[in-house]
């Protein structure tokens, strides 16, 4: 995947602290073997892949992104990160015993690969951190119309993505590729291509979580929409709200078109209401540059 990662500073309005502790799995889960090497290529492209046979690769990846993946964080949920965590890039090749399945559709619990990545960060980068719950501005994703009617671009999901993931894993073991997604359609997943979101086969809570990175706030699903959904959403990214957006918009996005907030209402019949609520934040106490392999 191609992704530009910039973590902005946060202003915390209030905090409720808990005793310092190193976050991690209850029972240690680790990669059987792992290589960590600096990447000084200067490239912008970032690739993270989970492969059959318990293999995990990350190419040209900032450690901030690894922490976010391991603990399922948005950028604004991480505090105390040194500058090199965002700027320095690394290549990781790892393998764990067995062939752990992907997380179930809509799951918010870390799976085996995420837990192994937590262990790698603690062992190789000496990550030590603690959790805090802070009362911060958030958005609530709700239905825009009083009658609850949805917009023209959204419909119930057409694909059972849990079954599709199982079929894809079985095909991979036979050296075959089975992917329900195409360049122009996402049947299972969330793809944001610089102002064009393609979403399919997942619950609305998954979409809300994905929006958090776009609006730099936690987003909670209060739509009341059960089940899984398919839709496409096209909008113009807000350079003021998202100062990290430096790439040009794709040709199919009108630079004078609707903002994300307007597009949500017109195309999906949803809106983002500004409110406040508890946000779990990972505060980094220590993290070191890794020793070379």
Assess if residue 239 is contained within a domain. yes
SS3 162: helix
Q: Are residues 173 and 263 in the same domain?
A: yes
Query: What is the Cα–Cα distance from 10 to 218, expressed in whole angstroms?
Result: 12
pLDDT band at 53 (very low <50, low <70, confident <90, very high): confident
**Minimum mean pLDDT among 125-129, 148-152, 188-192: which range?**
188-192
Domain extent for 225:
136-277
Q: Is 267 found in the same domain as 145?
A: yes
Structure tokens at 248: 């040009």
Assess whether 40 and 115 both reside in one domain: yes
What are the tens digits of pLDDT across the range 55-79? 999 999 999 999 999 998 888 999 9
pLDDT at residue 129 is higher than 50:
yes
108: left (phi over 0), alpha (psi -120 to 50) or beta: alpha
Residue 5 included in any domain: no
pLDDT in tens, 112-122: 999 999 999 99
Least confident of 21-25, 206-210, 216-220: 21-25
Number of domains the chain is built from: 2
Do 152 and 94 lie in a common domain? Answer: no
pLDDT band at 27 (very low <50, low <70, confident <90, very high): low
Question: Is 23 part of a structural domain of the chain?
Answer: yes
Together in a domain, 21 and 152: no
Last residue in a domain, options 99, 134, 169: 134
Q: What's the CA gap between 279 and 39, in Å, rounded?
A: 33
Positions of E strands within the chain: 15-17, 33-39, 47-51, 55-62, 78-79, 89-95, 128-143, 154-156, 189-192, 196-203, 218-221, 228-234, 270-286
Q: What is the mean pLDDT of residues 1-21?
A: 30
23 pLDDT above the threshold of 60? no
Q: Judge whether 291 lies within some domain.
A: no
Mean pLDDT over residues 95-120, rounded? 83
End-to-end CA distance of the chain: 26
């Amino acid at each position: 995947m191609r992704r530009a990662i910039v973590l902005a500073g946060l202003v915390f309005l209030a905090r409720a602290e808990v005793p310092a502790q190193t976050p991690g799995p209850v029972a240690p889960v680790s990669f059987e073997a792992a290589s960590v090497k600096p990447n000084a290529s200067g490239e912008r492209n970032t690739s993270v892949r989970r492969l059959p046979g318990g293999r995990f690769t990350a190419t040209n990846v900032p450690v901030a992104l690894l922490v976010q993946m391991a603990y399922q964080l948005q950028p604004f949920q991480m505090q105390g990160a040194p500058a090199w965590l965002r700027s320095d890039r690394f290549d990781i090749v790892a393998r764990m015993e067995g062939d752990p399945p992907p997380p179930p559709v809509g799951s918010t619990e870390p799976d085996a690969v995420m837990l192994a990545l937590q262990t790698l960060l603690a062992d190789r980068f000496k990550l030590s951190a603690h959790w805090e719950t802070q009362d911060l501005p958030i958005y609530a994703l709700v239905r825009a119309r009083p009658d609850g009617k949805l917009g023209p671009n959204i419909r119930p999901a057409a694909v059972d993505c849990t079954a599709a993931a199982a079929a894809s894993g079985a095909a991979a073991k036979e050296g075959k590729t089975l992917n329900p997604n195409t360049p122009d359609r996402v049947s299972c997943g969330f793809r944001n291509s610089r102002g064009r979101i393609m979403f399919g086969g997942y619950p609305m809570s998954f979409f809300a979580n994905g929006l958090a990175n776009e609006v730099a706030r936690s987003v909670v699903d209060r739509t009341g929409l059960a089940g899984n959904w398919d839709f496409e959403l096209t909008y113009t990214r807000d350079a003021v709200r998202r100062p990290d957006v430096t790439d040009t918009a794709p040709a199919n996005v009108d630079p004078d078109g609707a903002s994300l907030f307007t597009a949500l209402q017109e195309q999906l019949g949803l809106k983002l209401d500004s409110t406040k609520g508890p946000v779990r934040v990972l505060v980094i106490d220590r993290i070191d540059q890794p020793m070379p392999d």
